[in-house]
Amino acid sequence: MLEKHFSGEKATLTLDGTTYELPVIIGTEGEKAVDIRALRSTTGYITMDSGFMNTGSCSSAITFLDGEQGILSYRGYGIEDLAESCSFVEVAYLLVHGNLPTPKELGSFSRMLGEFAMLHENMIHFFDGFPPNAAPMAILSSMVNSLSSFYPEMTNNPLENIDLMAARLISKVRTIAAFSYKKSMGHPLVYPRHDLSYCANFLNMMFDSPVRPYEVNDVVVAVLNKLLILHGDHEQNCSTSTVRLVGSARVNLYACISAGISALWGPLHGGANQAVVEMLERIHREGGDYRRCIARAKDPKDPFRLVGFGHRVYKTHDPRSRIIKKACDDVLAALRIDDPLLHIAKEIEEAVLKDEYFVERHLYPNVDFYSGIIYRAIGIPTDMFTVMFALGRLPGWIAHWKEMWDDPNWRIGRPRQIYVGPRRRPFVPLKERTLENV
Ligand code: ACO
DSSP reduced 3-state for 146: helix
Average pLDDT of the residues of the chain: 94
Q: Which residues line ligand 1 (CB under 6 A)?
A: 51, 268-270, 272, 297, 305-312, 361, 363, 366-368
Instruction: Determine the angle formed by the axes of helices 121-129 and 136-150, rounding to 10 degrees.
Output: 150
* pLDDT of 350 higher than 70: yes
What is d(CA 1, CA 75) in angstroms, rounded to the nearest whole number?
A: 15
pLDDT in tens, 76-126: 999 999 999 999 999 999 999 999 999 999 999 999 999 999 999 999 999
Reported confidence tier of residue 71, pLDDT bands at 50, 70, 90: very high
Report the run of H or E that residue 172 belongs to, with start and end: helix 162-185
Whole-number Å distance, alpha carbon 308 to ligand 1 midpoint, is 9
Whole-number Å distance, alpha carbon 72 to ligand 1 midpoint, is 20
Report the run of H or E that residue 105 belongs to, with start and end: helix 103-115
Q: Whose CA is nearest to atom 19 of ligand 1?
A: 300
**Residue 158: CB atoms within 10 Å:** 16
Pocket test for ligand 1, best of 305, 315, 358, 369 (most atoms within 8 A of CB): 305
Predicted local confidence at residue 160, as pLDDT? 85
As beta bridge partners, residue 15 has 18
Residues 6+ apart with CB under 8 A from 254: 144, 145, 147, 148, 151, 165, 169
CATH 3.40.50.150 fits 6-66, yes or no: no
CATH topology agreement for domains 6-66 and 77-415: no
CATH topology of domain 77-415: Citrate Synthase; domain 1 (1.10.580)
Distances (CA, A) of 283 to 190, 279, 343, 381: 36, 6, 11, 19
Mean pLDDT of all residues in 381-401: 96
pLDDT in tens, 32-69: 999 999 999 999 999 999 999 999 999 999 999 999 99
Reported confidence tier of residue 298, pLDDT bands at 50, 70, 90: very high
**276 close to 308: Cβ distance less than 8 angstroms:** yes
Domain ranges of the chain: 6-66, 77-415
- Whether 311 is catalytic: yes
Write down the catalytic residue from 97, 231, 234, 311. Answer: 311
Reported confidence tier of residue 2, pLDDT bands at 50, 70, 90: confident
**79 close to 320: Cβ distance less than 8 angstroms:** yes
What is d(CA 288, CA 49) in angstroms, rounded to the nearest whole number?
A: 41
pLDDT in tens, 358-379: 999 999 999 999 999 999 999 9
Q: Whose CA is nearest to atom 28 of ligand 1?
A: 312
Whole-number Å distance, alpha carbon 351 to ligand 1 midpoint, is 17
Reported confidence tier of residue 3, pLDDT bands at 50, 70, 90: confident
- Whether 269 is catalytic: no
Report the run of H or E that residue 151 belongs to, with start and end: none
Q: Output the DSSP codes for 90-102.
A: HHHHHHHHSSPPP
